[in-house]
Amino acid sequence: MNKQLRNWLAVLILSILLVGCQETEKNTAVETDSVQGVKEYTVTDDMGKEVTFEEVPETIVSLQPSNTEILFALGVGDKIVGATEFDTYPEEALEIERVSDSMKFNAERILEINPDVVIAYTTGSEEELKVLEDAGLDVFVIQSALSFEDVYGDIEQLAAVMGVEDKGTDLVDSIKTTIQSVQDKVSGVSDQKHVYFEISPSPEIFTTGKNTFQQEVLSKAKVVNIFGDQEGWIKLSEEDVIKKNPPIILTTVNYVEDPIGEIKARPGWNQLEAVQNNSIFQLDQDIMSRPGPRIGEAVELVAKTVYPEIFE
């Protein structure tokens, strides 16, 4: 199996297993007076751990691309000194030192960097994170977001950690405004289009179902996911899709040559309505797969693709 696909699927599966740990209501910073009289503050992470900061962090290691995007959107991306191989947005993120592949991180290098805070992710093992904590680093864990509300909560938490709560509020409001604008445009759609949304290709075909933020993207764009009655991220056979005969196919696959051509060439798929009508569209994987500040763009991207006439 392709390394990128293997890592990506592992993130999905682990996030499903760990989602029970996440609280839907996020905690904001609570200020207290330290012994020296300097204001310190405490923020609770998604593992229920209270992390106390004596001052706002000046250096950050971020172990998940979506959190890196949030930090940049909050205006503190310049403080990130370590990131993952998949941190590609915004462009400035490409210049940050790589200390993780999103599944495994280089603890030795992180300790050498000695950041003020590590923004971690629940796919990292507790033992590995404990190495960082035992060395005296502040580790703040963010659980994988499975809904837009989770994303808003992540933004609020990271804004609290970085002492920019007002920017966090403004960012959430901006995202909601973008989504509402799209929903206003598609509000008159009476016959919602049905789509098959592919996130990994044959032979390891996966799609998304209910209780995922990607399902929420589709729903807010007013399209019907033909596998939306199933839970989480779903492994399919080629026959499963043939039986559904989708009129539109959306794919975020970007690591095989000619993803649309690969779909068309699958045995028996030439009979699909989407293939016959050439209604197969490749969408930006990063925008569609990261539960971060671009979820509003994701909703707009789907709506524009499925209902282009509305946005002309």
Cα separations (Å) of 235 from 1, 245, 273, 274? 14, 17, 22, 20
Residue-wise pLDDT tens digits, 259-272: 999 999 999 999 99
Inter-residue contact 29 to 107 (CB < 8 Å): no
Cis peptide before 259 (omega within 30 of 0): no
Give me the percent of the chain exceeding a pLDDT of 90: 81
Judged on CB neighbours under 10 Å (0-12, 13-18, 19+), 85 is middle
Instruction: Give tens-digit pLDDT for 228-255.
Output: 999 999 999 999 999 999 999 999 999 8
Phi, psi dihedral angles at 205 (to 5 degrees): -80, 125
* Whole-number pLDDT of residue 23: 42
Nearest 5°: the CA angle 196, 148, 123 is 85
Question: Is the overall model pTM greater than 0.95, yes or no?
Answer: no
Tell me the average pLDDT across 4-21.
46
* Full set of structural domains in the chain with CATH: 22-163 (3.40.50.1980), 189-311 (3.40.50.1980)
- Residues 199-235 have pLDDT tens digits of 999 999 999 999 999 999 999 999 999 999 999 999 9
Closest CA to 140 of 46, 277, 248, 71: 46
Contact 262, 201 (CB under 8 A): yes
Instruction: For residues 142 and 121, give the distance between their C-alpha atoms in angstroms, rounded to a whole number.
Output: 5
Name the strand (E) or helix (H) holding 280.
strand 280-282
The string of pLDDT tens digits covering residues 292-307 is 999 999 999 999 999 9
Across residues 143-157, what is the average pLDDT? 95
CA distance 271 to 276: 7
